[in-house]
Amino acid sequence: MSEMSFDVLIVGAGAAGLMAAATAVKRGQKVALIDHNKVPGKKILISGGGRCNFTNLHEGPHFYQSNGKNFFKKPLASYRPKHFIELVKKHRVPFYEKTLGQLFCKKSSSNILELLLKECNLETGESVYKFFGQKNLSVSYVEGFYEVKNEHSLFRAQKLIIATGGLSLPSIGASDWGHRVAKQFGHTLVEPRPVLVPFTSLTITKLNLRGQSLKASVKVGKKVVSEDVLFTHKGLSGPAILKASLFWKAGDKVSINWIPEVIEDELKQSFFQSGTQATFGSLLKERLPKKCLEAFLKSIGLTPNRKVIETSKKERQKVLEMLFRYTFTPDGTEGFRKAEATAGGVETKEICPHTMESHLQKGLYFVGEVLDVTGQLGGHNFQWAWASGTVAGQSV
């Protein structure tokens, strides 16, 4: 077995781990970056449809959720989107703003990974030592030193950063390794759950609208998200659903306004106008895709060619409720397999936000998605990775 000593060990070569490594090596630290995957940054490479939504111009604490409500404010304030954008410009990576402040690479996600790997190599020739493809790792703390080892190698240092991410996308290597290490050293875990994930619903699939998409307002509790909703073969997806899933827990109801740009009172007035010979189809054809309109009306026993005047007040009210407050309880979600992020993780009340160091174990740090900090869809989780990784890299 080969034995190697360093100043800092970082387990996890994703966004947060790479950022921590690049920051620490610039401070003169001898850094080992360790990962069980043979290649780093797998989640970076597949993110944003292959173009990596690497940050968001409209960053702010209101885009984040955590049991420790104010924990993420300090790291995010110390490393803002402008700082990462400066890095992107320094490496001449072309990018563009899509919508709602989301910044994407013009060419490929690999540009962001290449940028981070270059940052891990200094012009002086010093660089982060990279050890990828390291399986079956265990951690112990022996006489003031952390030992990360498997049957082939033993890495030793006084500082250990856990950057192993959450449970989402197990197909690219996600695991609970970081959570297990946290528990080993006495940390509490907030129950992990898949978020930024599609809903499953037999009620929705019975509408037979797979592939249909429309802009809608989705409400979970007091939170409202207005963006596109996509009908799938299992339920609902699209940006509005993924964003709403961050606030949803099993058993919660979801309410959808399918025509958010229409004023309800105006439509109600046209429904209850005396003497009108208009049909539901003629009044709503400009508001909804034909197939959606047919399915929605069918679900309450009506058709588009039915004259409004021929229906009861109760039936007309049902149409308004269906259009403006379509309410259902999802059967569940598509799980970690399809989730873009993990809510829950290492309890932030046990971590110092100024350094990312454990309050319980000297020299142990946690960064990125392994912590109970979850950002909204749209580049916010990457910004958390950059911020938390930088803070830890500056502290070790």
Q: Supply the CATH number for residue 153's domain.
A: 3.50.50.60
What residues form DSSP beta bridges with 98? none
Query: Percent of the chain at pLDDT above 90?
Result: 95
If asked whether residues 168 and 76 sit together in one domain, one would say yes
Terminal alpha carbon distance of the chain: 27
233: pLDDT strictly greater than 90? yes
Question: Domain end: 312, 333, 354, which one?
Answer: 333
If asked whether residues 65 and 148 sit together in one domain, one would say yes
Q: What is the CATH number of the domain that holds 207?
A: 2.40.30.10
Look at the chain and report how many structural domains it folds into: 2
Average pLDDT over residues 238-264: 97
Average pLDDT over residues 48-67: 95
User: Could you tell me which residues come within 8 angstroms of residue 266 by beta carbon, excluding any fewer than 6 positions away?
Assistant: none
CA angle 392, 393, 396 (to 5 degrees): 80
Instruction: Report how far residue 217's alpha carbon sits from residue 199's, in angstroms, rounded to the nearest whole number.
Output: 15
276: pLDDT strictly greater than 90? no
If asked whether residues 47 and 172 sit together in one domain, one would say yes
Q: How many helices (H) and strands (E) does the chain have?
A: 13, 23
Question: Domain end: 292, 313, 333, which one?
Answer: 333
If asked whether residues 173 and 204 sit together in one domain, one would say no
Instruction: Pick the more confident residue, 89 or 277.
Output: 89
Q: What are phi and psi of 351, to 5 degrees?
A: -125, 140
If asked whether residues 223 and 264 sit together in one domain, one would say yes
pLDDT value of residue 122? 83
274: pLDDT strictly greater than 70? no
- Closest CA relative to residue 169, chosen from 53, 43, 268: 43
Question: In terms of residue numbers, what domain contains 319?
Answer: 199-333
If asked whether residues 184 and 206 sit together in one domain, one would say no
Q: Which amino acid is present at 165?
A: G
Instruction: Report how far residue 321's alpha carbon sits from residue 314's, in angstroms, rounded to the nearest whole number.
Output: 10
If asked whether residues 44 and 177 sit together in one domain, one would say yes
At residue 273 the predicted structure's pLDDT band, cuts being 50, 70 and 90, is: confident
Token code pair at residue 128: 């982060």
Question: Domain end: 333, 351, 375, which one?
Answer: 333
Average pLDDT over residues 175-184: 98
At residue 134 the predicted structure's pLDDT band, cuts being 50, 70 and 90, is: very high
At residue 69 the predicted structure's pLDDT band, cuts being 50, 70 and 90, is: confident
107: region left, alpha or beta (phi > 0 left; psi from -120 to 50 alpha): alpha
Average pLDDT over residues 253-261: 97
Provide the H-helix boundaries in 255-379: 264-271, 280-284, 290-298, 313-324
Average pLDDT over residues 56-72: 93
Encode pLDDT of 84-126 as tens digits: 999 999 999 999 999 899 999 999 999 999 999 999 998 777 8
